[in-house]
Structure 1
């Protein structure tokens, strides 16, 4: 039985060259959005999304499998986990200082620094890492696809026999 879906990678010099030119700019813009989120439109979510999209562009241009091998699964899990740990640590740190979870006014009362720096730390170190890691991970998961062991919809005896059920039951 032939597979109706063709998932072969076709190399395109135009796309590869365009991505080589555009990727540094999109990565820089994503980092700019992340680092200037408190002072300008943007923030950790938008910046993390743009950084993640830069990796997706590389995967489309140079192949999903080489990009997946370059960004190992352990790196992506570490990125997401690190973001969650940083987010939680900052939030719990505010509780330890006598406030509520993510109540940054404790920073002003105890350390005499602007509460804005707590939010900046959450956006830059927490949210941007989580968003970019989740975006890239979801892309790789969807790109892997779902391949059932047997063709669906054949019905009848083949599926019943695979499960150990006969038509007589």
Structure 2
């Protein structure tokens, strides 16, 4: 009996071959679910809005860039689970994710070094000659952190979803 046959007449359970850590060519194909796709279409904008709210509200209360970026990044995971990982990966290619991370990092560094241009220390918001500079500076830094975190979480998800194979035997096979 092969590794994917069943003895009790129920549907077969596929197991991973020993030399494949995550990915095999005989994985079950993606199956569309109208209920899941419709639910994600409705819920995704609200989750993204919640992520942005947590990012922007982090200066005044609990929350911030990391938490908001994580929530915003999960929207992409929801889209991938509902519409398929490959189409979402093709839509949000590595260049776009790298761009998102770079924009977030440059925003953070721009605000930090911008304060130094006005004679302050790195991220010393009151060095800016604007009213409420501290509030706006913190908001922009949180937004930059959120963009970076969302890009990294999404990139890690796609990296793990792609899987990897190894030619080396696992420890228990030796």
Report the TM range for the smaller structure's normalisation.
0.7 to 0.9
2:158 to 127, 137, 140: 140
Q: State the distance in 1 between where 2:158 and 2:105 align.
A: 20
Consecutive unaligned residues of structure 2, counting only runs of 5 or more, are 4-13, 17-26
Who is 1:41 aligned against?
A: 62
Q: Larger % of helix: which?
A: 1
Q: Report the CA distance between 1:87 and its aligned residue.
A: 0.8
CA distance in 2, matches of 1:143, 1:80: 20
The equivalent of 1:62 in structure 2 is 83
CA distance in 2, matches of 1:91, 1:101: 5
- Of structures 1 and 2, the one scoring higher in RCO (CA 8 A, sep 6+) is 2
Deviation at 1:94, TM superposition (A): 1.3
> How many Å apart are 1:35 and its aligned residue?
2.5
Choose the corresponding residue for 2:31, options 10, 13, 31. Answer: 10
Residue 79 of structure 1 corresponds to 100
Distance 1:13 1:32 in 2: 29
What residue is the counterpart of 1:117 in the other structure?
Answer: 136
Aligned-pair Cα RMSD in Å: 2.1
Count of residue correspondences: 151
Q: Does 1:152 align with 2:173?
A: no
> Structure 1 26/101 Cα, relative in aligned 2: closer, same or farther at 3 Å?
same
Alpha-carbon displacement from aligned partner over 1:30-80 (angstroms, at most 9, x marks no partner): 122222222343222222111110110010111100000011110000000
2:22 matched to which residue of 1? none
Please tell me whether residue 52 in structure 1 is matched to residue 73 in structure 2. yes
- The answer to whether the aligner puts 1:96 opposite 2:117 as a matched pair is yes
Moved over 6 A (4+): none
CA positional deviation for 1:7: 5.0
Alpha-carbon distance, 1:151 to partner:
5.7
Q: Deviations over 1:114-138 (max 9, x none)?
A: 42221111112x1111011011001
Q: SS at the partner of 2:146?
A: helix
Look up the match of 1:162.
none
